[in-house]
Structure 1
Amino acid sequence: MSTTDVAIVGTGPNGLAAGVVLARAGLRVELHEAAETIGGGLRTASLFDSGVVHDICSAVHPMAAASPFFRAFDLPSRGVELLQPEISYAHPLDGGRAALAYRSLAKTCEHLGADGPGWRRLMGPLLERSEAVVDLVLSGQRSMPRDPAAALLLAGRVAVHGSGLGAARFRGEEAPALLTGVAAHAVGRLPSLASAAVAMLLGHLAHGTGWPLPRGGSGRIAQALAEDITAHGGVLHTGHHVTDLAELQGARAVLLDTSAKGFLALAGGRLPRAYARRLERFRYGPGAAKVDFLVSEPIPWADPEVGRAGTVHLGGTHAEMVRQETANARGVRTGEPFVLVVDPAVVDPGRALPGKRPVWAYAHVPNGDPTDPYDLVRARIERYAPGFGDTVVAHRSVAAAAYEAYNPNYVGGDIGSGAMTLYQSIARPVPRFDPYRTPLPGVFLCSSATPPGPSVHGMSGYLAALSALRHCFGICDLPDLAPDSARLEFR
């Protein structure tokens, strides 16, 4: 039985963010992690060589530079260096062509030729109000927007690009492919209002705060969060699998960085039947199948400029991606899935050794798909980088069905902890004014199964922690999240 103020189950980015907020509020906080290492989607490990580390889940972090929680937490001041590639993301096409999203909006527009002015009209106004746009999308979505102009800008663009009208705004293949590749990060049917919101958010950030990679790997973010928690009296327990809420009943507040399915298992029969039924009906999205490669040299892209990008989207044309992602969402496996590829050493050369270089790749597949993704992913890369297979020294592949065993939050391989439909973007996991507070007294959900949903932004944990502070401890003032040294210097 726990005797602490707050018990948190799960040490993914949201569990850790909640721990930071609650420990800084002066509460006794304990975090429980079933795995032997903390981090959830923020783990980095040596898979093939002790001198080369791979990111096990997430690798690129637009939200670590942009979200309200991380802006306040200030990762760079804590020694986490967010490395910015000159090209945020690239989208190869057949014939040796490629669409490129440079950090510079002007350079991107120049590269897009006749579609450059249209790209500027789409992204420029969002960039001008970027912080307000980010705060709107990453809010709990339960209050009026603080900047109505930003809301109107976003709403108009989402309405157009969430329909079949968006691609028709462009003349060539490059610009529609560039935007649709970002929309595919929603991992669901294309086009949709939810995917268009993702495209507007991530698309404009590519020209703003960027799509950075943490030097040394994603685990550095988890480490910085954990260090802050322990510096404020918090305790982290690894290798401790909590199987029942009864184990934590001595805590005044319990926060769960778990999937809706995981919450049902922990609660047993304690939940009201109506609430439990809604959790049971919560929909999960398509799965992610992962391949980690150890290669002997940089990826031999047909267009060498692609090799300067931090992230590469492999999906072909706009029409091909719409067909693939929509089939995927319906549970139909395709032979040419959408694939994301990251070569971290492009911006972090210390991640590589002579003749040994990590490459990270995800393929979108139907939920629960048991297929080994290695052949599919290798072939997808070779379509745009002939000879890639000859550079592969070693690989490790994880089917979507196996991802849930690695992390129970990834139900059927759904790394977003729930399908990103318009309804579930707002009413996740159930429609409630306070989606973090559950019917069980003192029990809160703080995972990506709550708004604002997936990505490493920490906001679900942050907002759940604020709810717990108000309802369990009567604390309404947000604790200062800045590094202690920065606060001292300010004073």
Structure 2
Amino acid sequence: MSDVTVVGSGPNGLVAAVMAARAGLDVLVLEAEDTIGGATRTAELTLPGFRHDVGSAVHPAALASPVLRELGLLGEAGAARGLRWIVPELSYAHPMPGGGAGLAWRDLERTVAGLGADGGDWRRLVGPLVSRIEGVVDFTGSQLLRMPRDPVAALRFGARAVDQGTSLWSSRFSGPVAPALLTGVIAHAAGRLPNLASAGAGLLLAAHGHAAGWGFPEGGAQRIADALAAELRRLGGRIETGVRVRELAEVRGSRAVLLDTGPALLRTARLPRRYVRALDRFRPGSGVAKVDFALDGPVPWAAAEVGLTPTVHLGGTRSEVAAAENAVAAGRQPGTDGAPRHPFVLVTQPSVLDASRAPAGKHVLWAYTHVPAGSTFDASELITAEVERFAPGFRDLVLAATASSAVELERGNANLVGGDLGGGATTLAQLVKRPVVSRTPWRTPVEGVYLCSASTPPGPAVHGMNGWYAARLALRERFGIRLPELRA
């Protein structure tokens, strides 16, 4: 048996494995599926030659990740390893009912100019976070139970989360475009609006949009997993696919076991009652219903600039997006009686900047909408209609489409419990309690077993920091090896 066994080959698991292999340990990664990467995979889901991201697609947190930088996966070092990042000039867009769109350019001042009378308020809200982005990343990229290295950045971030995470959010802007543009980013976190945790997540994403940008790998998200796997193998580590670990007893021969999974696998071991109660209280977030499209050409957006960015948020005004998200949080299925007419839809169209994703002249697009956890809803028509709302003629371009309900997403990746992409609901309580309240939440009560998935701090997104924190703790406690601190 190896010194270290990692269960799951998502970015966090692979980062943990690489850090252990760097320390000279014998490392084995076990992956239940036939392909590594977890939700960070790319596959031909519709037609041959059309490459879709299975889960995550655009990765603002990756470009700001201290551990990905340390491992040489960003910039020129990443390109030398086959991981070339594309950083759009337009980070994201939000088409508006009746025409026009909110545009978040990487250039903050260009964004401010486009928002008219609300531009100054956008600058005052987001600008101070951009100017201290390293401190913001450090504060949000660890856990809330430690003193921030940059208290000013933490205070600025907290004040703005209150501004946009409470009933105060309606007092910031005077027009409809700026609040809609920001709400589309906040809604990534999937939850009732407004709320502090979602506001914090959205503000962090908005700040990334004007800092390092909303980058994504040329060729698809799979390139991230492949680059990490290549580094692990270079260091002597091993990966076995098609190996499903159903009980912890199967891997207890290693001195350290790191789980890039949800907490459920822990329940196969004897646990203290207090820990069991904490796991019982830890709840998944909303699921997603996803549709992948193969297109005969670019999307005919009514606002032409929307075609310049891979990331588009649909749903209309701030109040429309909030109504849609609140309905899902209350357990109502989009497209059914009692739910708002228009859902919030997150669209990714990577082929507008990455020609490798589709045959010449063709395009790929995937989109999802939030649904109650465990939903079997097929969102094909709902999403098609919402795209058509802002891009008349879209329907005529569809060559093929593949729908994945929340249940089907979990079936393809057991970590997506109920179709939840975030490893647990994004609430203020679950930012502190992830999955338990502790200064070392990656350690479990089972000797030598550590959690390193998105169900631990600092939560979801492709940045690998969960894996790094868990590996640092495991290496110190089990092998007496100390990893140096990483700086944002």
Equivalent residue runs for 1:452-471 within 5 Å? 452-471=458-477
C-alpha contact 2:249 2:269 (8 A) present in aligned 1 = no
The worse-fitting range, judged by mean Cα deviation, of 469-478 and 91-100 is 469-478
Question: Residue 368 of structure 2: which of 358, 362, 366 is its match?
Answer: 362
User: SS of the counterpart of 2:220?
Assistant: coil
C-alpha contact 2:46 2:293 (8 A) present in aligned 1 = no
CA distance in 2, matches of 1:17, 1:269: 25
Q: Is 1:327 the counterpart of 2:327 in the alignment?
A: yes
Cα deviation, residue 50, structure 1: 3.3
Cα deviation, residue 276, structure 1: 1.6
The worse-fitting range, judged by mean Cα deviation, of 254-263 and 269-278 is 269-278
Cα deviation, residue 247, structure 1: 1.4
CA distance in 2, matches of 1:456, 1:269: 29
For residues 39-62 of structure 1, the C-alpha deviation after alignment (integer angstroms, 9 at most, x for no partner) is 001101122343221111111010
1:56 alignment partner AA: V
* Partner residue in 1 for 2:416: 410
Equivalent residue runs for 1:470-489 within 5 Å? 470-478=476-484
Q: Is 1:109 the counterpart of 2:92 in the alignment?
A: no
1:114 alignment partner AA: A
C-alpha contact 1:295 1:355 (8 A) present in aligned 2 = no
Question: Residue 158 of structure 1: which of 158, 161, 168 is its match?
Answer: 161
1:201 alignment partner AA: L
1:58 alignment partner AA: S
For residues 386-430 of structure 1, the C-alpha deviation after alignment (integer angstroms, 9 at most, x for no partner) is 111110000100001221111111111111110000010111111
* Partner residue in 2 for 1:289: 289
C-alpha contact 1:85 1:309 (8 A) present in aligned 2 = yes
CA distance in 2, matches of 1:225, 1:345: 24
| C-alpha spacing 1:479/1:171, structure 2 compared with 1 (3 Å) | closer
CA distance in 1, matches of 2:114, 2:189: 26
C-alpha contact 1:187 1:325 (8 A) present in aligned 2 = yes
C-alpha contact 2:248 2:266 (8 A) present in aligned 1 = no
* Partner residue in 2 for 1:39: 37
Question: Residue 220 of structure 2: which of 214, 217, 221 is its match?
Answer: 217
CA distance in 2, matches of 1:25, 1:94: 55
* Partner residue in 1 for 2:338: none
Identity %: 52
* Partner residue in 2 for 1:270: 270
CA distance in 1, matches of 2:407, 2:49: 29
TM-score by length of 2: 0.95
Cα deviation, residue 277, structure 1: 2.4
For residues 274-326 of structure 1, the C-alpha deviation after alignment (integer angstroms, 9 at most, x for no partner) is 21222122111110111000000101111011111120001211111111111
Q: Provide the aligned C-alpha RMSD in A.
A: 1.4
Structure 1 alignment gaps of length 5 or more: 482-491
For residues 146-191 of structure 1, the C-alpha deviation after alignment (integer angstroms, 9 at most, x for no partner) is 0111111111111111112123211110000011111101111111
Q: Is 1:83 the counterpart of 2:81 in the alignment?
A: no
1:303 alignment partner AA: A
For residues 248-298 of structure 1, the C-alpha deviation after alignment (integer angstroms, 9 at most, x for no partner) is 12100000011122332xxx2411222122212211111011100000010
C-alpha contact 1:426 1:452 (8 A) present in aligned 2 = no
* Partner residue in 1 for 2:57: 59
Cα deviation, residue 355, structure 1: 4.7
Equivalent residue runs for 1:191-210 within 5 Å? 191-210=194-213
Structure 2 alignment gaps of length 5 or more: 336-341
C-alpha contact 2:16 2:467 (8 A) present in aligned 1 = yes
Question: Residue 126 of structure 2: which of 123, 126, 151 is its match?
Answer: 123
Cα deviation, residue 432, structure 1: 1.9
User: SS of the counterpart of 1:40?
Assistant: coil
* Partner residue in 2 for 1:11: 9
User: SS of the counterpart of 2:13?
Assistant: helix
User: SS of the counterpart of 2:458?
Assistant: coil
User: SS of the counterpart of 2:401?
Assistant: strand
C-alpha contact 2:246 2:265 (8 A) present in aligned 1 = no
For residues 10-55 of structure 1, the C-alpha deviation after alignment (integer angstroms, 9 at most, x for no partner) is 0011101111111111111100000000000110112234322111
CA distance in 1, matches of 2:269, 2:475: 26
C-alpha contact 1:24 1:480 (8 A) present in aligned 2 = no
2:447 alignment partner AA: P
* Partner residue in 1 for 2:456: 450
Cα deviation, residue 219, structure 1: 0.4
* Partner residue in 2 for 1:488: none
Q: Is 1:172 the counterpart of 2:183 in the alignment?
A: no
* Partner residue in 2 for 1:394: 400
| C-alpha spacing 1:141/1:73, structure 2 compared with 1 (3 Å) | farther
CA distance in 1, matches of 2:369, 2:354: 23
1:328 alignment partner AA: V
CA distance in 1, matches of 2:417, 2:26: 31
| C-alpha spacing 1:142/1:479, structure 2 compared with 1 (3 Å) | closer
CA distance in 2, matches of 1:269, 1:72: 35
* Partner residue in 1 for 2:344: 338
| C-alpha spacing 1:74/1:18, structure 2 compared with 1 (3 Å) | same
Question: Residue 423 of structure 1: which of 400, 423, 429 is its match?
Answer: 429
User: SS of the counterpart of 1:364?
Assistant: strand
User: SS of the counterpart of 1:198?
Assistant: helix
* Partner residue in 1 for 2:388: 382
Cα deviation, residue 202, structure 1: 0.4
C-alpha contact 2:352 2:363 (8 A) present in aligned 1 = no
For residues 94-120 of structure 1, the C-alpha deviation after alignment (integer angstroms, 9 at most, x for no partner) is 111100000110110000000011111
C-alpha contact 2:67 2:486 (8 A) present in aligned 1 = no
Cα deviation, residue 350, structure 1: 2.5
* Partner residue in 2 for 1:484: none
